[in-house]
């Protein structure tokens, strides 16, 4: 991955981390999940379509959370790679390879 792409990944991770830690967003996820589960449990046995839609909605909330966590983790890996690149460049510079 290029240095520019790694820097972008680190920036995205910082933004995603802020979202993951945001109390209001976490409250929204929890609230939505609870409302969908309550509505799902309240469906009648004949309402197969309604249950399926609510099941999908519950899973989408989880997928959004997972996506944010993936962005955070990718950013951590990118930061480590950038650090390694910087250390390698410094060693080359120190030993006159560059």
All structural domains of the chain with their residue ranges: 3-94
The band of 25, judged by pLDDT with boundaries at 50, 70 and 90, is very high
> For position 44, what pLDDT does the model report?
95
Q: Report whether pLDDT(98) > 70.
A: no
Instruction: Tell me the pLDDT tens digit for each residue of 37-66.
Output: 999 999 999 999 999 999 999 999 999 999
Listed residue (16, 5, 6) closest to 67, CA to CA: 16
Q: Per-residue pLDDT for 97 more than 90?
A: no
Terminal C-alpha separation, the chain: 21
Predicted local confidence at residue 94, as pLDDT: 79
Which is more confident, 60 or 94?
60
3-class secondary structure, 2: coil
Q: What does the mean pLDDT of the chain come to?
A: 94
What is the average per-residue pLDDT within 64-75?
97
Over residues 32-39, the mean pLDDT reads 97
């Amino acid at each position: 991955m290029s240095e520019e792409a790694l820097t972008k990944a680190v920036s995205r991770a910082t933004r995603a981390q802020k979202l993951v830690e945001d109390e209001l967003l976490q409250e929204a996820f929890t609230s939505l999940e609870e409302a969908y589960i309550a509505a799902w449990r309240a469906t009648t046995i004949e309402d197969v379509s309604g249950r399926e839609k609510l099941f999908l909605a519950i899973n989408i909330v989880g997928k959004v959370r997972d996506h944010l966590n993936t962005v955070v983790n990718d950013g951590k890996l990118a930061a480590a790679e950038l650090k390694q690149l910087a250390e390698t460049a410094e060693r080359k510079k120190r030993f006159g390879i560059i």
